[in-house]
Structure 1
Amino acid sequence: MNDKTWNVLVLCTGNSARSVMAEALFNILGKGRFRAFSAGSHPNGRVNPFAIEKLESIGYDVSGLRSKSWDEFATPDAPQMDFVITVCDNAAGEVCPIWPGVPMTAHWGFEDPGVSGSDEEKRASFHKVFEQIRNRVALFAALPLDTLDRLAIKHEMDKIGHTPVQS
């Protein structure tokens, strides 16, 4: 069995909620197989407090989380990504930088959580989207990546992106 650690970059426009939660879930559910990062095309400069609250509730160390630009990952000295996944429709439609190493890409769209309502309604929205992200990351983490070729992995990534989001 191959002990490769796969680098995953999760993108969203603001890098404040969905991409950050996906980064954490890849790091948790990947059990060492993935080293995940997140970034945004137009980062808003802070991680949404409801995303932090949700991640803290599952015991994830949020101390290193920050909202950052995808430009940090397009430099020659940045970690070389194996996979780049967009999680919001705006980021999926934007022109991305050229990623070193030519990673496989996919779009896994999720609604923007907690944009309106009371704090309890926002928490419920974050929980719903978190579970949807968890479901897709779990499907990806279960793939036998070491035995699949690039075309098969890309097919599976796209198939996961079209998996109905349920929570």
Structure 2
Amino acid sequence: MTDTPTVLFLCVHNAGRSQMAAGWLRHLAGDRVQVLSAGSAPAEQVNPAAVEAMAEVGIDLTGARPKPWTEETLAATDVVVTMGCGDACPVLPGKRYLDWPLEDPAGKGVEAVRPIRDQIRGRVEELMADLGVASAG
């Protein structure tokens, strides 16, 4: 792993959990971590309830766009965090994989997304501690 680890968050649609996790890690780690997110079947847009829930804690996801994972992205990654994509998520030997079983926020209102957002923050903080990355804030 490099001095600046690269973390890739993967889920199916890259519209909720992975976008919130990427937002949290960028917010909390600053430039201490390279942050990527992608999906196996990207949605058209980020879940509006996820955007709203993150805005409530000062993280702006309005410019985020779902995107597919690529072999290049995967090859450049030190840690891959999967979130409910099962067999659709790629596996590359030599990479560190973590699976975060989190409820899918798809189709839920902001009230239901808030607890998922908060669970993701806790997991991101644990990941940062494990990587030896101090919080930027």
Query: Over residues 119-150 of structure 1, what are the superposed CA-to-partner deviations in whole Å (9 max), with x where a residue is unaligned?
Result: xxx1111101000111111111123548xxxx
Normalised by the length of structure 1, the TM-score is: 0.69
Cα–Cα, structure 1 residues 95 and 144, in superposed 2: closer, same or farther, change >3 Å? closer
Q: Secondary structure at the match of 2:107?
A: coil
Instruction: Please tell me whether residue 131 in structure 1 is matched to residue 118 in structure 2.
Output: yes
Q: Report what 2:90 is aligned to.
A: 96
Deviation of 1:95 (Å): 5.0
Which residue, out of 85, 97, 102, partners 1:105? 97
What is the Cα deviation at residue 81 of structure 1? 0.7
Work out the CA distance in 1 between the residues paired with 2:68 and 2:101. Answer: 19
User: How far 1:87 sits from its partner (Å)?
Assistant: 1.2
Q: What's the CA shift string for 1:56-106, capped at 9, x where partnerless?
A: 2222233541000012xx128x77111001012xx133251648xx42111
Out of 83, 87, 101, the residue aligned to residue 87 of structure 1 is: 83
Specify every segment of 5 or more residues in structure 1 that has no aligned partner in the other structure, as ranges.
117-121, 147-167
Tell me the equivalent position of 1:164: none
Contact 1:7 1:79 in 2 (8 A): no
Superimposed CA distance per residue, residues 30-66 of structure 1 (whole angstroms, 9 cap, x where no aligned partner): 2432121111000112111111112222222335410
The structure whose Rg is larger is 1
Taking the aligned partners of 2:10 and 2:103, their CA distance within structure 1 comes to 14
User: Secondary structure in 2 aligned to 1:69?
Assistant: coil
**Could you tell me the TM-score, scaled by structure 2's length?**
0.83
Aligned residue identity for 1:24: G
Count of equivalent residues: 132
Whether the 8 Å contact between 1:18 and 1:112 is mirrored in structure 2 is yes
Q: What is the aligned-residue identity percentage?
A: 31
3-state SS in 1 of match to 2:31: coil
Structure-1 residue corresponding to 2:31: 32
8 A Cα contact 1:26 1:35, kept in partner: no
Cα RMSD, aligned residues only: 2.4
Contact 1:44 1:67 in 2 (8 A): yes
Matched residue, 1:43: 42
- Greater relative contact order (Cα 8 A, min sep 6): structure 1 or 2? 2
1:75: which partner in 2? 72
